[in-house]
Amino acid sequence: MTATQALTGAQTQALLLKLTVLADDEIILAHRCGEWTGHAPILEEDIALANIAQDELGHAGMYLTLAQSLGGSDPDHVAFWRGPDDYRNTRLVELPKGDWAFTMVRQFLYDTSEALWLEAATSSTYAPLAEIAAKAVREEKFHVQHTALWVERLALGTPESERRTQAALTELWPHAAQLFQPIQGEAELTAAGILPDLNAAHARWTDLVTRHLTQKCGLTLPDAPDTQPGRDTHTPHLAPLLEEMQSVAREHPDAEVW
Amino acid sequence: MTEPQPQPRATGTQWPRWEVFKQDAPGRPHQAVGSVHAGDPLHALLTARNVFVRRPAAVSLWCVPEGDLLTTTPEELVTTPALLDASGTSGTYHVGVKRTIRRSMTFVDLSGTVNAGGPGDALRQARTLHPDALAWMVFPESAVVRTEEDAGTVDSWFAPARDKTYKQQQYYGVIGRHASELKRAGRMPGRAASEESA
């Protein structure tokens, strides 16, 4: 590892925002995964989703710990004391968990995007980010295998499972491109080699998921809007999610240890 | 990956059960750690990884459909000697041996292979090789599905667990104050209160 390069003030601010954006997606999706605990179709998948949720929270923790070292707030504070107006997650991850097909299709869209982004981020010139990516990408590649397998089996299973899988994709696909929405200052960080090229990752992702969903699984991709509102615009589903997720922390504001 | 025949199902809604064998480190025996329900070999392996290898570390997983396993104990062989005549495919069989009741988390350790005319013959050989065992298990090599050994699989399936350790219960933090602190202060309900607590 090379010595950590010094960031300019503008780069630091942009990177802080990027780390928040990455962590918020992980936190919110982890909570949606956690909602399956005790309710998954089989015990084994109950355990799998709890695993995935913990992995995602682990990634969020790494992002927020790095952000803290750059001047950000304490990770627990960031997670539990911001309201829906301050969260910067995509709408894709905040939608209610839906049925099993919805959960698996959403995980597939998300896991593939994260795995490709992380793989590219392992080449970051900013060593702390490259280290996080190297650690997280291993777990993410396993998540992709797990959800790709499930989407395939649901899509090619019974007429009922195929109908549900297609319905999930039809609902989720228009939201997916938001995962590749650049943050303010993203281009400068990419030019400096600190962040991977988001457009290149987006192109690789589109190719990968299109091949899997249409060719392997026989699903149909619906139209997606050309532009999306920003990550500061949320569905009505985020507020109740945060209310539940943050209730314990807010009841015990002086808790010293988690 | 060889596709074993899915087992006949008790009902149309149940997936077959697969026995899971985990190898903790290179050179160690694969050990039976439990089972998963899954619809096909790859699903079984992925599920086994989720259930059994979040922690601690492992380097390899095998899954074997329930119907391909033959297990017995010395006591069972007294009442049901016909187990030694169980017929099936001839070829290489894996032999699992249970040697102690003092082990938690595992059922048998795999101790090698025998060439057998069928599962009963494999059992007979297992008994000869390990006469003092508490239980034996045999299954044909052809029924095994295994995790890949390429770097990518090892990295994404097994490497993450290496950094995850078990935590002792007392390691977990508590919200607010730890009970022991409250006990010392005489503030636990149902305990004799010390002078300073109201």
Predicted confidence band of residue B11 (pLDDT cuts 50, 70, 90): low
Type and span of the H or E element at B109 = strand B109-116
CB atoms under 10 Å from CB of B64, counted, come to 26
Interface test with B, best of A138, A250, A252 (most B CBs within 10 A): A138
Q: CA angle A249-A50-A78, nearest 5°? A: 30
Residue A195 CA: distances (Å) to CA of A20, A46, A207: 14, 34, 21
Interface test with A, best of B46, B49, B55, B154 (most A CBs within 10 A): B46
The answer to whether A97 and A40 have CB atoms below 8 angstroms apart is no
Q: How far apart are the first and last CA of chain A?
A: 32
Strand B31-37 with B17-23, pairing = antiparallel
Interface test with A, best of B1, B17, B45, B50 (most A CBs within 10 A): B50
CA B126 to chain centre: 20
- How much of chain B is helix, strand and coil, in % rounded to 5? 30, 25, 45
Report d(CA A230, CA A184) in Å as an integer. Answer: 11
Cβ contact (<8 Å) for A153 and B49? no
Interface test with B, best of A37, A42, A44, A257 (most B CBs within 10 A): A44
Predicted confidence band of residue B197 (pLDDT cuts 50, 70, 90): very low
Report d(CA B73, CA B134) in Å as an integer. Answer: 6
Contacts of B6 (CB under 8 A, 6+ apart): B16, B39, B40, B65
What's the pLDDT score for residue A257? 66
User: CB-CB: which of A45, A141, A257 is closest to B156?
Assistant: A141
Read off the pLDDT of residues A105-163 as tens digits, 9 standing for 90 and up.
999 999 999 999 999 999 999 999 999 999 999 999 999 999 999 999 999 999 999 99
Mean pLDDT, to the nearest integer, of A177-188? 95
More confident residue, B164 or A68: A68
Contacts of B190 (CB under 8 A, 6+ apart): none
Nearest CA in chain B to A254: B176
Report d(CA A178, CA A225) in Å as an integer. Answer: 10
Read off the pLDDT of residues A195-225 as tens digits, 9 standing for 90 and up.
999 999 999 999 999 999 999 999 999 998 8
Q: Which residues of B touch A44 (CB under 8 A)?
A: 36-38, 47, 50-51
Mean pLDDT, to the nearest integer, of A227-235? 93
Q: Which residues of B touch A256 (CB under 8 A)?
A: 173, 176
Report d(CA A33, CA A31) in Å as an integer. Answer: 5
Predicted confidence band of residue B190 (pLDDT cuts 50, 70, 90): low
- Stated pTM of the model: 0.88
Report d(CA A104, CA A73) in Å as an integer. Answer: 33
Cβ contact (<8 Å) for A51 and B160? no
Chain B nearest CA to A52, separation (Å) = 9
CA B147 to chain centre: 15
Cβ contact (<8 Å) for A51 and B37? no
User: CB-CB: which of B42, B47, B156 is closest to A44?
Assistant: B47
Residue B68 DSSP code: G
Read off the pLDDT of residues B21-31 as tens digits, 9 standing for 90 and up.
999 999 999 99
Q: Positive or negative CA dihedral for A40, A44, A48, A50? A: positive
The answer to whether A103 and A92 have CB atoms below 8 angstroms apart is no
Supply the mean pLDDT for chain A: 95
Read off the pLDDT of residues A9-30 as tens digits, 9 standing for 90 and up.
999 999 999 999 999 999 999 9
What's the pLDDT score for residue B183? 81
Q: Which residues of A touch B156 (CB under 8 A)?
A: 138-139, 141-142, 145
In the block, tokens 């790494």 appear at A62
Residue B29 DSSP code: P
- How much of chain A is helix, strand and coil, in % rounded to 5? 65, 0, 35
CB atoms under 10 Å from CB of A246, counted, come to 15
Alpha helices by DSSP H, A156-191: 159-176, 186-191
Cβ contact (<8 Å) for A139 and B47? no
Predicted confidence band of residue A58 (pLDDT cuts 50, 70, 90): very high
Type and span of the H or E element at A209 = helix A198-210
Chain B nearest CA to A247, separation (Å) = 13
Cα–Cα nearest to B145, from B26, B8, B6, B33: B6
The answer to whether B109 and B94 have CB atoms below 8 angstroms apart is no
Say how many CB pairs under 8 Å bridge A and B: 55
Using beta carbons and an 8 Å cutoff, which residues of A are at the interface with B?
A: 42-45, 47-48, 51, 55, 135, 138-139, 141-142, 145-146, 149, 153, 248, 252, 254-258
Q: Which residues of A touch B157 (CB under 8 A)?
A: 142
More confident residue, B29 or B14: B29
